[in-house]
Amino acid sequence: MALEWKHSTDGVDWEELSALYRAAPLGDKKPLQLQTVFSNSMFRCFVYENARLVAAGRALADGADCSYICDIAVLPSHQGTGLGKQIVSHLVERSRGHKKIILYAVPGKEAFYRKFGFLRMKTAMAIFENQQQQLERGYLSEA
């Protein structure tokens, strides 16, 4: 599998990226929203195979204190190949020098991120647009 890695938003087809997130499946992320969040992220990567977008990820970082790795998406046809691991490794490496690198995992996938040195945060809290939905999905706990 010959992969091409890009780190710029130049030439990104935001509709194609939106389709990738639906297929991954990481939800219905609208093209304009993806353009905004990837453009505002300090670190990002887009992985192509034969000019087809097969994976992407980003880290929202401030350059010194905190880097938040998020939105790691890999097409189902490329899952299990190590590509997701390569993206996370790349974003962790780019984020080095920040005092903390954080992420939140899909419930049940925490062990994957432990391999990179991530540990569970005991005091992390969040407000989501749809709190009830995130409680049901296991992202939040009222306890």
Q: Which of 56, 123, 68, 131 is nearest to 95 (CA)?
A: 68
CB half-sphere exposure, 107, CA atoms < 13 A? 8
Q: Which residues contact 33 (CB under 8 A, 6 or more apart)?
A: none
Q: Is residue 99's pLDDT more than 90?
A: yes
Q: Based on C-alpha coordinates, what's the Rg of the chain?
A: 15
pLDDT in tens, 34-43: 999 999 999 9
List, in sequence order, the alpha helices (H) in the chain: 14-23, 31-39, 83-95, 110-114, 131-137
Which residue's structure tokens are 């887009």? 46
pLDDT over 90 (residue 108): no
- Please enumerate in sequence order all residues whose Cβ is within 8 A of that of 143, keeping only pairs 6 or more positions apart, or say none: none
pTM of the model: 0.91
pLDDT at 109: 86
Kindly report the average pLDDT of the chain as a whole number.
95
pLDDT band at 107, cuts 50/70/90? confident
Q: Which CATH superfamily is domain 3-103 in?
A: Gcn5-related N-acetyltransferase (GNAT) (3.40.630.30)
